[in-house]
Chain A
Amino acid sequence: MNLRLLCSTVRLQMKQSFSRPMFRFTLIAGPVLNTILLYEMFLSSGEENFFSYVVLGAGLMGIWGCICFSSAGDINRERYMGTLALIFAAPAPFRKTILGKIIGNTLLSLLTFLVSLLTAVILFGVKVRIAEPSHFLVAFAVTIVSFISISSVIACVLTLSRKTELYMNLLELPIALLCGFVFPLELLPPFIRVISYALSPTWAVRLLRRSVEGGTEPSLFFRELLITLVLSAVYALLSLLLYRLIEKHVRIRATLDVA
């Protein structure tokens, strides 16, 4: 029953998200424009592997953009449409419905990588060079898990807020900055890096970049893989805990629609 619920929510969410012009912007136009911007900025950098920062950077920013403007904003959209309370009170568990939405958005947002790659290859003739393809596939799968887990916590926290639009706008660039989507973390001051290390996408991005650039000790790769998975598991547990607390809070105060 739960798997059927999850699958149908994923399918419905993909259709709903794709029908919104703003989502199509973050899915298609955003990665194209970001790839052009990053390519032009890295043109004189002496960087030979444009895949590492241009394609990956634009793809990651695209995924994060889709998550911010969809997974985080979906709660508000349901509230605006008057369906949030219905979903919440339905016999199907609320957290699973929200998880289905997040998975649907994240899977759809993976298209940003493809769009970014095609833009770089077609417009600029960028060569696809992945030093460790098998590691890249593992890193990619782990990246999806880490994004789903962090989105789950964010969606959970935003359930109680009426100002989702404000927060989803505020989340986009700071996370891209803290997680090093387009530049190495070493550029940030050490006290800010502490926050970066607590975010699972930071480690996922590292894994992706290491697998693209190659030359990494397997032990280091697997250590970072483990850190990413542990952090994702912590986020998943945290979101479960938060859902329980929020459910109790909402049922007592009955203020879901007006937060």
Chain B
Amino acid sequence: MIASVRRFYEEAKLSHKGRSAAFAAEEFVLYEIGYPLVTMIFYCLLASFSFRTNDLSRWVIGNSFLLCTNACVFGTGRVFASERYNGRLRSIIASPCSKYGVILSNGVFPVFFASCAALLGMITGALVFQTDFSGINMGLVALAGLCAMCSATAFGLLLASLCLMTDSMHLILNIAAYLLMLFTGAEFPVSQLPLPGRVIAMMMPLTKSIRATHLLLDGEDGSFFPLIGAELLTAFAFSLASLVVLRVAERAARKNGRFDLF
């Protein structure tokens, strides 16, 4: 057990070293923390203009969550694509190791840095946009964020599995990032969407967590835990789906012998 944990941590550390070796420390901080902060400020300013409001607490929290979940989706979703780029995909597929372990360990550090960025984002948001979080139970907000990250990671696992069948992961991940902005209520209320859009929104990760934090902001926390439960259920459903897709994709990849060529 301890050996497995150590191995998982070593893989996470190696993957992080591989990602960051080419960058100077300040470049890395700029990319991992600075850019997400600018992204959050951009969408908060856009919201303040388009919604004609000065109370940006919903957008500060929503976009902070979005930063975290994007890191979860991208961190896990692009694992096989980068392994293919580095020429290790064949070895990973052929080896008896757990593919889930490989994907999850690669996502550890991106998610850690995104969590720091999200935390800093909330502090920056509170300072720059003068949002008041004093009356909100921040423990529950953190719980909602954690559940959102679980379901986003499961969503990322599903996307990572698709990489064994396509070479257009950048395209898929970028579309997924937009879908998270459109269908989760981070940028505008889900109720604005037509019925099919609202159905998709309910199936997306993050939607329920954002709804739960909006309830906290409104001082109505009665439905908070049912929504958090629904978010965890979404995470479970995506995990199951990714398990099936990964098995099918792995089998197809082994059978066709086309890990690197399409």
Contacts and interface: CB of A to CB of B under 8 A. Distances in A.
Contacts of B170: 21-22, 25
B22 A162 contact: yes
10 contacts: A22-B170, A25-B170, A53-B50, A162-B22, A170-B31, A170-B34, A173-B38, A173-B42, A183-B46, A188-B45
Give the 3 A-B residue pairs with the shortest CB-CB distance, closest first: A183-B49, A33-B178, A41-B50
Contacts of B27: 163, 166
A187 interface: yes
A236 B163 CA distance: 42
B23 A166 contact: yes
Interface of A: 21-22, 24-25, 29-30, 33-34, 36-38, 40-47, 53, 162-163, 166, 169-170, 173-174, 176-177, 182-184, 187-188
B14 interface: no
A45 B51 contact: yes
Interface stretch (B61-69, B180-188, B252-260): B180-188
A177 B27 CA distance: 20
Interface residues of B, number: 31
Contacts of B50: 38, 41-42, 44-45, 47, 53, 183
Given A25-B170, A184-B49, 12 more contacts: A22-B171, A22-B174, A30-B174, A36-B182, A37-B181, A37-B187, A40-B182, A40-B193, A45-B51, A169-B31, A177-B42, A182-B49
A30 B170 CA distance: 13
A162 B23 CA distance: 10
Contact of B171 (A25, A33, A53): A25
Nearest to A188: B45
A40 B188 contact: yes
Given A40-B193, A177-B45, A182-B46, A46 B178 contact: no
A234 B170 CA distance: 36
Interface in B43-96: 45-52
B51 A174 contact: no
B52 A187 contact: no
Nearest to B169: A21
Interface in B158-175: 168, 170-171, 174-175
B195 to A, nearest CB: 15
Contacts of A173: 35, 38-39, 42
A41 B39 CA distance: 16
Contacts of A34: 178
B30 interface: yes
Max chain B C-beta neighbours (<10 A), residue from A53, A176, A183: A183
Contacts of B216: none
A187 B192 contact: no
Nearest to A42: B50
B17 to A, nearest CB: 16
A166 B31 contact: yes
A170 B181 contact: no
A29 B171 CA distance: 9
B41 interface: yes
Contacts of A46: 52
Contacts of B47: 41
B129 to A, nearest CB: 11
B30 A170 contact: yes
B187 A170 contact: no
Contact of B23 (A41, A45, A163, A183): A163
Nearest to B188: A40
B182 A33 contact: yes
Given A21-B170, A33-B182, A163-B23, A40 B192 contact: yes
Contacts of B175: 25, 29, 33
A21 B166 CA distance: 12
Contacts of B39: 173
A43 B38 contact: no
A171 to B, nearest CB: 10
Nearest to A44: B51
A248 B262 CA distance: 42
Contacts of B30: 170
Nearest to B170: A22
Contacts of B49: 45, 182-184, 187
A57 B181 CA distance: 17
